[in-house]
Homo-oligomer: A and B are copies of this chain.
Amino acid sequence: MTEFSGILMVRRTIRKYTSEPIDDKLLNELLTMGCRASTTGNMQVYSIIITRDEQKKKDLAPLHFNQKMVTEAPVVLTFCADFNRFNKWCRQRKAEPGYDNFLSFMTAAIDALLVAQTVCIAAESKGLGICYLGTTTYNAHKIIDLLELPKGVVPVTTITVGWPAEKPDQVDRLPLKAIIHPEVYKDYSEEDIEEYYRIKEARSDSKQFVKESNKETLAHVFTDIRYKKADNVYFSGVLLKVLKDQGFMNLLL
């Protein structure tokens, strides 16, 4: 393994940061590397909002269910699907953009996510730690208000970045053979599921989780507490409304 493969193999999410700041030069270097990621037709239909201001972090925190990384990290980056800039360019050239639809949202969201992950790997290669905030898609409407995102712009994910003040154990992953399918998807038998989830369920941290949650199995911790149907359905409605409000659900010619 090269040193670089090492970075990818030993990485872990970092949720505690020192008070040391990240200077603009380093941050811009990471973001520049991020923008070298592949982008559909070289359109670069994304934007990155940089939150450093203490008050802005305090305002942002509740939109991420008060995860403490938001206020404690020196930098919070919100990655947005953005057709606003591209549309303005088209109109300024008297070309009529046709990007007010769901496919274009997905195109821009994919662009934004490839940049986000590249920034994360670039950051980790510099010794920084990162944490993704999946809450971005839950509260996209409130993030839009706070960060003053215009029509054509939707936040897709958020990362907190800082110098690590912890070194947690690496969490488990399913065995690779549970994830990959040569040539065609081979659906999972009962035995496959038993085999692939056995290690995860046997971990002491999983057992602790089940016990503390007072649940029967680890699966119930997910379905009944962490990612509940009622929440998923509610926030699905919110997110689809956000796409409509931001101008990505016009499906008529």
Contacts and interface: CB of A to CB of B under 8 A. Distances in A.
Indicate the member of A2, A121, A196 with the most B CB atoms within 10 Å: A121
A150 to B, nearest CB: 5
Contacts of A104: 227, 232, 236
Contact of A183 (B53, B85, B92): B53
A190 B84 contact: no
Interface stretch (A61-69, A161-169, A216-224): A216-224
Given A106-B137, A174-B44, A98 B2 contact: no
Contacts of A101: 229, 232-233, 236
B13 A156 contact: no
Place the interface of chain A in its size category.
Answer: 35 or more
Given A150-B187, A179-B31, A217 B253 contact: no
Interface in A81-126: 84-86, 88-90, 92-99, 101-104, 106-107, 109-110, 113-114, 116-118, 120-122, 125-126
A186 to B, nearest CB: 8
Contacts of A88: 188, 193
Copies in the complex: 2
A8 interface: yes
A116 to B, nearest CB: 8
Interface in A17-44: 28-29, 31-33, 35-38, 40-44
Contacts of A121: 8, 118, 121
